[in-house]
């Protein structure tokens, strides 16, 4: 079977799945755009782990403490959160593509700089530079997808976007572990820099697929029009949803391995395998969630059901009633439930976004993700220090249930599409 036959077969499959939806754009055109944006998103998630994967090396090399290492990630996400909210305005004013290219220059620079650091303050500079490079991806990605992908395939686009992000998280440990063991950790960072350069050129060669329109501003517009969207309560409900749901994800990423070891006596390898299974199940859930998001107009309800079910599973894991093996399986299943809600979550934000403010809105609400990543380890780290391992999972479940309330609040406030002059 040739390449064209494969495209034809896949097009027939997607047409049958979306037979009730009008599609006038060729599949190959949408798939190319989705693939390029997905590659960019994977690069962003790869950047999240540039520093954490080398924490043990930094402790030995520079004599650093866990607190000092933790502050590196706080620096990363604070810079990323502030930059993300600001980048949204730049995307709406100048288009998504220039910001995307600048991000890759910054991430490549951060990787090359990491290969040369000689102490803690050099690592702080790398964290800040990488956070700034990471800051543009959500407003850039969603502006391109919303403008360039046909509406009937947008649910699949959001699904692919989330899935590639998880793959970026999955590739990073393999990349750094392999190169640092074969050569050195400095060589691994140098290779990461060259990887970002290669991806930059791939995107640049296909730059025609990444262009976006900048909405014309009325000549009488006042400066406050740029901030008019912030007066909409639904924007802050969206922000709250991202902050709360990300706090739970941060608990799983940061503490699940330690919790499984402490509560059930699992080995480090088995506990780490459970976290990997959580991420892979999340990717599968996002794939399934793409079909769900395309088939429903009640995105907020899908998100609420998915997150609510995940919260129940997480709370049950915190009780320890499943035992070691059962907890591993159920915790991985929690990732699948959360993943299903991912594409519908992005559709929910799209419906809350006024015309002409995509970059600003996505930049603002997704900065809640950075805030959640920044404060959750500090808050739940106190639970862990006290040995409250089950309570840490229970607390994460409560926070996830609060995100359900926020999702339903978004749905109630988007029954009528927000409109105003941009």
Residue 141 in any domain: the answer is yes
pLDDT at 191: 96
Whether 194 and 260 map to the same domain: the answer is no
* HSE value, Cβ hemisphere, 13 Å, CA-based, for 367: 22
Whether 147 and 258 map to the same domain: the answer is no
- % of the chain beyond a pLDDT of 70: 86
Whether pLDDT at 258 is above 70: yes
pLDDT at 100: 93
Q: How many domains does the chain have?
A: 2
Whether 260 and 144 map to the same domain: the answer is no
Residue 8 in any domain: the answer is no
Return d(Cα 342, Cα 237) in angstroms, integer: 17
Whether 207 and 236 map to the same domain: the answer is no
- The pLDDT tens digits of the residues spanning 151-192 come to 888 778 877 888 888 888 778 877 887 888 899 999 999 999
How far apart are the two ends of the chain, measured CA to CA in Å? 50
* HSE value, Cβ hemisphere, 13 Å, CA-based, for 57: 20
Whether 204 and 260 map to the same domain: the answer is no
Whether 112 and 249 map to the same domain: the answer is no
Q: Is 155 exposed, middle or buried (0-12, 13-18, 19+ CB in 10 A)?
A: buried
* 78: its two tokens: 């604070």
Residue 411 in any domain: the answer is yes
Whether 207 and 241 map to the same domain: the answer is no
Whether 273 and 382 map to the same domain: the answer is yes
List the domain range (segments joined by +) for residue 303: 228-417
φ, ψ at 419 (rounded to 5°): -140, 140
Whether 307 and 388 map to the same domain: the answer is yes
Residue 7 in any domain: the answer is no
Residue 218 in any domain: the answer is no
Whether 82 and 134 map to the same domain: the answer is yes
Q: Which of 88, 119, 97 is nearest to 364 (CA)?
A: 88
Question: Domain containing 191 — which CATH number?
Answer: 1.20.1250.20
Whole-Å CA distances, 125 to 71, 87, 195: 12, 20, 20
Whether 181 and 67 map to the same domain: the answer is yes
Residue 20 in any domain: the answer is no
Q: Are 207 and 330 a contacting pair, CB within 8 Å?
A: no
DSSP annotation string for 112-164: HHHTT--SHHHHHHHHHHHHHHHTTHHHHHHHHHHHHS-GGGHHHHHHHHHHH
Q: Which of 285, 241, 289 is nearest to 411 (CA)?
A: 241
- The pLDDT tens digits of the residues spanning 394-409 come to 999 999 999 999 888 8
Residue 220 in any domain: the answer is no
φ, ψ at 322 (rounded to 5°): -85, -10
Whether 263 and 188 map to the same domain: the answer is no
pLDDT at 345: 80
What mean pLDDT, rounded, does the chain reach? 81
Whether pLDDT at 37 is above 60: yes
Residue 183 in any domain: the answer is yes
């Amino acid at each position: 079977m040739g390449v064209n036959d494969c495209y034809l077969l896949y097009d027939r499959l997607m047409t049958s799945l979306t037979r009730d939806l009008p599609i006038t754009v060729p599949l190959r055109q949408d798939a190319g755009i989705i693939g390029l944006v997905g590659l960019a998103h994977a690069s962003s998630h790869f950047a999240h782990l540039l520093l954490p994967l080398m924490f043990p090396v930094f402790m030995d090399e520079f004599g650093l403490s866990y607190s000092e290492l933790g502050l590196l990630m706080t620096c990363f996400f604070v810079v990323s959160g502030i930059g993300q909210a600001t980048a949204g305005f730049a995307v709406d004013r100048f288009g998504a593509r220039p910001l995307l290219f600048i991000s890759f220059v910054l991430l490549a620079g951060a990787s090359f700089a990491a290969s040369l650091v000689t102490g803690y303050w050099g690592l702080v500079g790398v964290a800040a530079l990488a956070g700034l490079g990471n800051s543009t991806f959500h407003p850039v990605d969603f502006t391109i997808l919303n403008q360039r992908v046909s509406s009937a395939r947008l649910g699949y686009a959001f699904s692919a976007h989330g899935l590639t992000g998880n793959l970026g998280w999955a590739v990073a440990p393999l990349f750094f572990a392999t190169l640092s063991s074969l050569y050195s950790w400095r060589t691994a960072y140098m290779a990461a820099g060259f990887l970002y350069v290669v991806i930059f050129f791939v995107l640049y060669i296909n730059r025609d697929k990444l262009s976006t329109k900048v909405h014309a501003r009325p000549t009488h517009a006042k400066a406050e029009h740029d901030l008019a969207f912030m007066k909409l309560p639904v924007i802050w409900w969206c922000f709250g949803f991202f902050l709360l749901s990300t706090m739970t994800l941060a608990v799983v990423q940061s503490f699940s391995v330690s919790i499984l070891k402490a509560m059930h006596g699992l080995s480090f390898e088995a506990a780490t395998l459970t976290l990997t299974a959580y991420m892979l199940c999340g990717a599968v859930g996002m794939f399934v969630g793409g079909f769900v998001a395309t088939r429903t107009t009640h995105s907020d309800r899908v998100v609420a059901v998915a997150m609510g079910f995940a919260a129940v599973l997480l709370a049950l894991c915190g009780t320890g009633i499943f035992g070691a093996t059962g907890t591993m399986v159920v915790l991985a299943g929690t990732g699948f439930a959360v993943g299903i809600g991912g594409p519908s979550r992005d559709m929910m934000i799209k419906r809350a976004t006024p015309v002409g403010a995509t970059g600003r809105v996505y930049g603002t609400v997704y900065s809640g993700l950075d805030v959640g990543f920044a404060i959750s380890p500090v808050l739940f780290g106190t639970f862990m220090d006290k040995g409250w391992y089950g309570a840490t999972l229970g607390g994460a479940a409560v926070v996830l249930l609060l995100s359900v309330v926020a999702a339903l609040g978004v749905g109630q406030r988007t029954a009528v599409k927000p409109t105003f002059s941009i």
